[in-house]
């Protein structure tokens, strides 16, 4: 490692690697945005990255130096000896913007990465600082890309039509002149495929699940957290164990029982089953929160003559409203996203939930953009709730989501 700890080694090395990262990123981003053929040239990227890295580590030129380096990179790219290669079909706009974005982003970010790298020997601090800044930059790009690309593909595919998709799978640019035609898939889903009903079903079932879950979990969690009784430890452990039983193991007998009693294909069958899958989670989350509440307030209430139940209703619950919000959101999310039980227990299209409805779109006769539009319809509400109430949601997730 000590061989690397010289400014004139670290600089070119990080520069070369950083150029590879950025040229791949820009190439993918430009391809996805315009559909034009852009690809990174690895060996050339390494070369020019190392050159700029050397300049940066030697503190050559200051700000004008950066501008010159960036300008040179743009020209090199446009004359096809730079880090990016373009296919003949690439438009001049694609070439110019890709070259400019890459050059400017690269030069400025690299100078930041190599900020306190000295010309000669480096201390361990300086060297590791530079490596960490490089890894941080890489991390942001990497995570943002892997999270966004599937959702980007989902949304854009839903706005296109079959022939466009086959012709160039990379072209996600949207022709705005088509106007409302863009949303044709959504329109068809709502008018011909009953997605309005599914949306309502999903919403109704999820809300009902939340209420039933809370009705069972609040008393249970309170008992486990506050009251002393024999078997308390065993009980709180078995909550966690029940959590561990896989749904598919339970789904089989439930399917048999529902088939024999005629509860399959019924709303109430689903509403009966969903809360039981969420009660252990909710109970586990809530008892953790109840334990954290100061017992003295409740004892004061007891001294003043309230009964236990009145204490729960008038003191504990108002104090735990944030926790109740988190639990409700989390339970809502589980019920909204639930797929396995809906898939096994519902066959009648008039009673489908959204997830079951999307599963029914997965056939070769239905175009792919419908499938993706359905996915968007299912994803958008939960995302909106999530982003709006992110604070509660995050807390809820950390408190209870040992569950997958």
Partner 1 sequence: MADATPPLGTGPLAKREARLAWGLLTPTIAAVALVVILPLLAIFWISVKPVSLADLRAPEVVLREDLRGSPEAAGDEATLRYRLRNSSQEQPILGVRFDDLVPDGLEIVDLDARCSLQDQALSCDLGDWEAGYRETLTIPVIVTQAYLDNAIRPQDSPPRVEGRSSSVLTDGTFTLNNFARIFQADEFLEVLWVTLFYTVFGTIGALLVGLFAALLLNKAFRGQGILRGLYLFPYVAPVIAVAFAWLILFDPFSGSANALLVQMGVTREAINFFGERPLALIMVTVFEIWRYFPLSFLFILARMQSIDGDMYEAADMDGASPFQQFWYLSLPQLLGILSVLFLLRFIWTFNKFDDIFLLTGGNAGTRTLTVSVYEQAFAISNIGAGAAVAVVIFGCLLTFSIFFLKYISREEGL
Q: What DSSP string describes 295-362?
A: HHHHHHHHHTT--HHHHIIIIIHHHTHHHHHHHHHHHHHHHHH--HHHHHH---GGG--HHHHHHHH-
- Report the C-alpha gap between 265 and 139 in whole angstroms: 46
Question: Hey, which residues does 350 pair with through a beta bridge?
Answer: none
Which of 335, 362, 380, 334 has its CA nearest to residue 193? 362
Q: Decide if residue 394 touches partner 1 (CB under 8 A).
A: yes
Among 286, 324, 327, 358, binds partner 1 (CB under 8 A): 358
Q: Decide if residue 235 touches partner 1 (CB under 8 A).
A: yes
Q: Which is nearer to partner 1, 81 or 256 (CB)?
A: 256
Stretch that binds partner 1, among 113-121, 145-153, 183-191, 315-323 (CB under 8 A): 145-153
- Report the C-alpha gap between 343 and 353 in whole angstroms: 9
The set of residues, in sequence order, having a beta carbon less than 8 Å from that of 19 and lying 6+ positions away, is 45, 46, 48, 49, 50, 52, 83, 106
Stretch that binds partner 1, among 70-78, 96-104, 169-177, 187-195 (CB under 8 A): 169-177
For partner 1 (CB under 8 A), the number of binding residues is: 108
Q: Which is nearer to partner 1, 133 or 351 (CB)?
A: 133
Q: Decide if residue 219 touches partner 1 (CB under 8 A).
A: yes
Contact predicate 332/206, CB 8 Å: yes
Q: Decide if residue 340 touches partner 1 (CB under 8 A).
A: yes
Stretch that binds partner 1, among 12-20, 60-68, 109-117, 122-130 (CB under 8 A): 122-130
Q: Decide if residue 173 touches partner 1 (CB under 8 A).
A: no
Q: Decide if residue 247 touches partner 1 (CB under 8 A).
A: yes
Among 240, 295, 297, 300, binds partner 1 (CB under 8 A): 240
Q: Decide if residue 267 touches partner 1 (CB under 8 A).
A: no
Among 214, 285, 324, 378, binds partner 1 (CB under 8 A): 378
Alpha helix stretches (DSSP H) within 35-123: 42-57, 62-78, 92-113
Q: Which of residues 272-311 bind partner 1 (CB under 8 A)?
A: 272-273, 275-277, 279-280, 283, 308
Q: Which of residues 65-94 bind partner 1 (CB under 8 A)?
A: 87
At 220, list the tokens. Answer: 């249970």
Contact predicate 401/287, CB 8 Å: no
Stretch that binds partner 1, among 71-79, 94-102, 111-119, 228-236 (CB under 8 A): 228-236
């Amino acid at each position: 490692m000590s061989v690397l700890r010289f400014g004139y080694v670290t600089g070119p090395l990080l520069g070369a690697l950083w150029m590879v990262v950025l040229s791949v990123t820009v190439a993918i981003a430009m391809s996805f945005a315009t559909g034009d053929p852009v690809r990174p040239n690895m060996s050339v990227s390494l070369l020019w990255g190392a050159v700029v890295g050397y300049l940066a580590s030697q503190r050559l030129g200051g700000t004008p130096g950066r501008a010159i380096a960036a300008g040179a990179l743009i020209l090199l790219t446009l004359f096809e000896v730079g880090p990016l290669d373009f296919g003949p079909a690439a438009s001049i706009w694609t070439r110019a913007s890709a070259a400019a974005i890459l050059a400017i982003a690269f030069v400025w970010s690299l100078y930041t990465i190599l900020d306190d790298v000295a010309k000669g020997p480096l201390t361990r601090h300086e060297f590791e600082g530079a490596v960490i800044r490089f890894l941080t930059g890489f991390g942001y790009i990497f995570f943002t890309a892997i999270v966004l690309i599937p959702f980007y593909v989902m949304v854009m595919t839903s706005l296109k039509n079959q022939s466009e998709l086959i012709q160039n799978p990379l072209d996600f640019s949207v022709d705005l002149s088509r106007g409302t035609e863009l949303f044709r898939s959504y329109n068809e889903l709502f008018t011909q495929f009953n997605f309005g009903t599914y949306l309502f079903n999903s919403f109704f079932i999820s809300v009902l699940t939340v209420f039933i879950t809370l009705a069972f979990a609040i008393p249970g969690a309170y008992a486990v957290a506050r009251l002393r009784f024999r078997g308390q430890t065993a009980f709180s452990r078995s909550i966690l164990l029940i959590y561990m039983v896989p749904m598919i193991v339970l789904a089989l007998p439930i399917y048999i029982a529902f088939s024999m009693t005629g509860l399959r294909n019924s709303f109430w069958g689903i509403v009966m089953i969903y809360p039981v899958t969420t009660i252990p989670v909710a109970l586990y989350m809530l008892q953790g929160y109840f334990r954290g509440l100061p017992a003295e307030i409740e004892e004061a209430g007891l001294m003043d003559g309230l009964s236990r139940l009145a204490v729960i209703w008038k003191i504990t619950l108002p104090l735990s409203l944030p926790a109740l919000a988190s639990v409700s959101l989390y339970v809502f999310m589980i019920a909204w996203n639930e797929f396995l039980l809906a898939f096994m227990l519902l066959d009648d299209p008039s009673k489908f939930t959204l997830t079951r409805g999307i599963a029914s779109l997965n056939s070769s006769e239905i175009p792919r953009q419908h499938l993706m539009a359905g996915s968007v319809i299912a994803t958008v509400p939960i995302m909106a709730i999530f982003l709006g109430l992110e604070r509660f949601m995050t807390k809820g997730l950390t408190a209870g989501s040992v569950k997958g």
